[in-house]
Amino acid sequence: MTELPITQRASQIQPFHVMRLLARARELEAMGRDIVHMEVGEPDFKTPQPIINAGLAAVKTGNIHYTAATGLTALKQKIAEHYQHTYRVSVNPEQIVITPGSSGALLLSLACLVEPGKNVLLADPGYPCNRNFSYFLDGDVKAIPVDASTHYQLSAELIAAHWDENTVAVILASPSNPTGTLINSAQLQSMVAVVDKFNGVIVMDEIYHGLVYQQQPRSILEYTDNAFVINSFSKYYGMTGWRVGWGVVPENYITVIDNFAQNIFLAAPTPAQYAALAAFDAETKIILEQRRQAFEQRRDYLLPEIKMLGFNVSAEPQGAFYIYADCKKITMNSETFVEQLLEQAGVAITPGVDFGTNKANQHVRFAYTTTLERLAEGVKRIKGFIANS
């Protein structure tokens, strides 16, 4: 075969193992097998009807042209109101950029910060795309191992210990994927202080904020204006496939973010932006709140069940829809365990390797993005699988 040119960065971006797993699960389903899906990182619920209606109406009335690169003004205003209501924080709508999913906001934000020779700090385990965004921008990553002692989050102390002269930013997520743990308000404040001291920037992923149980999460914007906030209509609002998210960027970056957005995406999908206008309606809120409670019930069911199976969860998840569990009592090779569990028992979960290298072989992630009945079926099958292996 002729050798065609390909960049070095192509070899740096690792595949998402869970996607391979999902493909195999679909293959098995096509062969007639019944698979319990506990690997999927998206809500099983359909998009709330008021949002669907608003999207359909936009298409029917011909609202299908490009919007401004940073998004519909009306949507930015609603998002700004959301910050005022939820966190008592004033955000200038001009600081908001609507993007294709929060992935778009992550890329644009990191494009303002990362370049060759520079690095970002992030937690291991953590959301895998973050490090790949940095590699994509020819920057480097310092993945810091975290454990239950810091609730699987970075801390001000860890940031101070790992920051070097080439570090430009730290990426945080609260609640985290894969652990579902939060960063509390005292820690957020200490982190802001330490990052300020280094003249750096926090990139704060708040995509799971709607899905927090028994407490109100704090936005980083309550403590600083010098942070990029990443959020999305994907998870809490049930709009994964519509591809619409947002970023809130510090005032100094408004123009550069606009320039990047104009060139890289032109704009987020227009019907999806019109649909998202209904995401903050009172009737939508009622539906979303019921779903949040359903997720909480699922967590409360699944957590003790997997512990009884021998998995250890050393920091209890307070949000999102994930449980990150230590499986060392059962296996020290989570990748093989996950593959065999799928093939032999028809249950799909995600191996730790998708979230970094820190004790990845002794961890798995359960997503409770399926009904209580299916979760119970999954638990039953895992129990049988462990008993027979």
Ligand X SMILES: Cc1ncc(COP(=O)(O)O)c(C=O)c1O
* HEC profile of 147-190: CHHHCCCCCHHHHHHHCCCCEEEEEEECCCCCCCCCCCHHHHHH
* Residue of 67, 109, 153, 177 interacting with ligand X (CB under 6 A): 177
User: Which lies closer to ligand X via its Cβ, residue 132 or residue 240?
Assistant: 240
- Given a contact cutoff of 8 angstroms between Cβ atoms, the answer to whether 325 and 313 are in contact is yes
Q: Are 250 and 227 in contact, with CB atoms under 8 Å apart?
A: yes
Stretch binding ligand X (CB under 6 A), from 54-62, 109-117, 232-240, 296-304: 232-240
Shortest distance (Å) from residue 234 CB to ligand X: 3
Q: To 10 degrees, the CA torsion angle through 180, 324, 47, 90?
A: 20
Q: Would you say 103 or 340 has its CB closer to ligand X?
A: 103
Cα–Cα distances in Å, from 56 out to 61, 251, 270, 306, 360? 9, 34, 11, 41, 43
Choosing from 181, 234, 358, 370, the residue that interacts with ligand X (CB under 6 A) is 234
Q: Which is nearer to ligand X, 141 or 330 (CB)?
A: 141
Q: How far is the CB of 39 from ligand X (least distance, A)?
A: 12
Task: Give the per-residue contact string, 251-290, with ligand X (x = CB under 6 A; - = no).
Answer: ----------------------------------------
Furthest C-alpha separation in the chain? 60
Which positions from 85 through 144 interact with ligand X, judged by CB under 6 A? Answer: 101-103, 127
Rule CB under 6 A: say whether 232 interacts with ligand X: yes
Q: DSSP label at 329?
A: T
User: What secondary structure letter does DSSP report for 345?
Assistant: I
Q: How far apart are CA 348 and CA 345, in angstroms?
A: 9
Alpha carbons 344 and 342: distance in angstroms, whole number: 6
Identify any residues that bridge with 348 across adjacent strands, giving them in sequence order: 37
Number of residues that bind ligand X (CB under 6 A): 13
Of 39 and 305, CB closest to ligand X: 39
- 318 is a contact residue toward ligand X (CB under 6 A): no
Residues in contact with ligand X, shown as a per-residue x/- string from 19 to 58 under the rule CB under 6 A: ----------------------x-----------------
173 binds ligand X (CB under 6 A): yes
Q: Which of 39, 124, 205, 206 binds ligand X (CB under 6 A)?
A: 205
Q: Which amino acid, residue 220?
A: I
Binding site for ligand X (CB under 6 A): 41, 101-103, 127, 173, 177, 205, 207, 232, 234, 240, 245
